[in-house]
Structures are given as structure tokens and as C-alpha cells.
């Protein structure tokens, strides 16, 4: 399959587009969304922020519910939202919502049966940006953000590859996956029982030893049902304190884990990234 434009919706003077393509990294057909702001209509190259979604999401949720297009137009930023796992009838899956399809956790799986397709880390870091930057009117300036599992993914991507991203932010990230049920289940399945292999995918462990520092913003709702058991922002705060990492972490009274929270603060996140993208 070559790159196929499956849908386009005009939005705030720009275009929210969905594409299907064959991923060589994931060994399956994939979908992604890209929002191009109105500035691109004249061939202007704009920077890209990659959005990584949370458990059960697809390439659609953020574009429909995130409310980012308004500020994307004001600032001149493109946003790319990949799917959350490999897809297809021959792709390994699990009955639970937090493993398998919709739950790729942005890792490179090493364990069967997952290692045949589940290489979301390489897909998001390499294949997708190469495709985006050779296809669309975008520059090679990148930032990255995400929600929950995708907040974990965004932080890990930026912490391990500081030369690739100008800034990173997250809503309600799984901040310390080696120490929570969601993370332990997924990392065991994808990486095996040896926890030494997990450390490369834990934002709190990575932030504690970071030396090249990508500016980071995190927003966390205080009424988030997953806050205590799964998200553990205190681990990230402790890591930042230990390494002097430039992390700004806001706790927001009354907000939960939903897209209503994301939409309420998306403007802050886009302005944060715009500042670091020199817009």
C-alpha cells in the first residue's frame, strides 16, 4: 500500500487528514492523522508536534476531542497523531484493553508473539517522522506530547532522544511504568520478566539520569481515577529534583483522566511547545 489519504476535514482554516500506509517497521498496514494549519497552504514549512494517544485510542481521538486545531492555526504548527499499536487480523492481541491492540506502549517488543509487529518505539521515532517530513510541508523541527500511555511514550522518546525534540509535554502520563500495574503487565509481556530491560522505557528512571535536557511540561488532574495506582507523577517529580531536570508539573484541581481535561489545557501545551520551536 502506498500512502493513501482516506479522509480530510477542513478545520480552523487548516486540514485534519487521515492516511493509511504500509509500515515496514510494524510489518502491517497503519493509519495516522495529520493536522496541517492554514499556513501550509502557501507552501510554508511548519514544525510538527507528535501526539501519542492513550490506551484504547486510535488516530482519531485527539483530532476529534483535543481541541488543538484552533491554536495550531494561531501558531502555525502541524500535529501528527499515530495509532496506538500495530493493527490487522494477523497482529497478536489480548482480550484485555491494556495489552495488545490499542496498547502498544510505544516500546520495541522482544518477546513472542509480540515481537513480530509491536515496534511502536521505532515507528514513532524513525519511520513516521521520515514519512511525514518527505511528504508534507513541514520542517525538521519536532516536539512531542501525549496522554496517559502516550504521555509515557512522549517522555521516553524525548528523554532517550533529546537531539530529536525541542520540547516534550504530557497529560496524565504513566510516569513510572515499572512500578504500576499497567506498566508491569505490558512490560512483562513485551520485554520479558527481566526488569533490567524495562528501565529504557520508564520516564522516571530516564529523567533521573538525564544529561541532555529537553524542556518538559506535565499536567495532571487531581480527580484522575488512575492517579494513585497507575500514574505516579510524584516519581517523576522526585527524578527531576534529583537530576535538576527542567520539568514543570502542574496538578489541576477537579480534573479527571478524560479528553475534557486535555482540551482544557491544550492551549498551554501548544504555547509551551511553540516557545521552544521558536514560533
Active-site positions read 148, 224, 257
- Identify the residue among 118, 190, 255, 272 touching its own copies (CB under 8 A): 255
Closer residue to its own copies (CB): 12 or 136: 12
Could you give the CA distance from residue 166 to residue 124 in angstroms, rounded to a whole number? 16
Query: Residue 71 CB, nearest distance to its own copies (Å)?
Result: 11
Q: Which is nearer to its own copies, 198 or 272 (CB)?
A: 272
16 binding its own copies? (CB under 8 A): yes
Question: CB under 8 Å to 47, separation ≥6 — which residues?
Answer: 77, 78, 138, 139, 141, 142, 143, 166, 277, 279
Site size for its own copies (CB under 8 A): 22
- Spatial strand order of the sheet with 216-221 comes to 4-11, 14-23, 28-36, 78-82, 46-52, 138-147, 168-171, 216-221, 247-252
Exactly one of 223, 229, 242, 248 binds its own copies (CB under 8 A); which one? 223
Contacts of residue 108, defined as CB under 8 A and 6 or more positions apart, other chains included, come to 118, 119, 120, 121, 122
What's the first-to-final CA gap in the chain, in angstroms? 36
Q: Is 69 in the site for its own copies (CB under 8 A)?
A: yes
Q: How far is the CB of 237 from its own copies (least distance, A)?
A: 22
Q: Which of 19, 51, 259, 272 binds its own copies (CB under 8 A)?
A: 259
Applying CB under 8 A, the residues found at the interface with its own copies are: 9-13, 16, 64-65, 67, 69-70, 221, 223, 254-256, 258-261, 263-264
Amino acid at each position: 500500500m502506498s500512502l493513501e489519504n482516506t479522509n480530510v476535514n477542513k478545520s480552523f482554516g487548516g486540514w485534519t487528514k487521515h492516511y493509511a500506509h504500509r509500515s515496514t517497521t510494524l510489518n502491517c498496514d497503519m493509519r495516522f492523522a495529520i493536522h496541517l494549519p492554514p499556513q501550509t497552504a502557501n507552501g510554508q514549512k511548519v514544525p510538527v508536534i507528535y501526539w501519542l494517544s492513550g490506551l484504547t485510542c486510535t488516530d482519531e481521538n485527539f483530532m476529534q476531542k483535543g481541541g488543538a486545531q484552533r491554536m495550531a492555526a494561531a501558531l502555525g504548527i502541524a500535529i501528527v497523531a499515530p495509532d496506538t499499536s500495530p493493527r490487522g487480523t494477523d497482529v497478536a492481541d489480548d482480550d484485555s484493553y491494556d495489552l495488545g491492540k490499542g496498547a502498544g506502549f510505544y516500546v520495541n517488543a522482544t518477546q513472542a508473539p509480540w515481537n513480530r509487529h509491536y515496534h511502536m518505539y521505532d515507528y514513532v521515532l524513525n519511520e513516521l517522522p521520515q514519512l511525514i517530513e518527505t511528504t508534507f510541508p513541514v520542517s525538521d523541527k519536532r516536539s512531542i506530547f501525549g496522554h496517559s500511555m502516550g504521555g509515557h511514550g512522549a517522555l521516553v522518546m524525548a528523554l532517550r532522544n533529546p537531539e530529536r525534540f525541542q520540547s516534550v509535554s504530557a497529560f496524565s502520563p504513566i510516569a513510572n511504568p515499572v512500578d504500576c500495574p499497567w506498566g508491569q503487565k505490558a512490560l512483562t509481556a513485551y520485554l520479558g520478566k527481566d526488569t533490567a530491560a524495562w528501565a529504557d522505557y520508564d520516564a522516571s528512571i530516564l529523567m533521573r539520569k538525564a544529561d541532555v535536557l529537553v524542556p518538559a511540561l506535565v499536567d495532571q488532574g487531581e480527580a484522575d481515577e488512575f492517579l494513585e495506582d497507575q500514574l505516579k507523577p510524584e516519581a517523576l517529580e522526585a527524578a527531576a529534583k534529583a537530576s535538576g531536570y527542567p520539568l514543570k508539573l502542574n496538578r489541576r484541581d477537579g480534573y479527571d483522566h478524560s479528553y475534557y481535561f486535555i482540551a482544557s489545557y491544550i492551549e498551554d501545551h501548544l504555547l509551551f511547545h511553540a516557545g521552544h520551536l521558536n514560533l
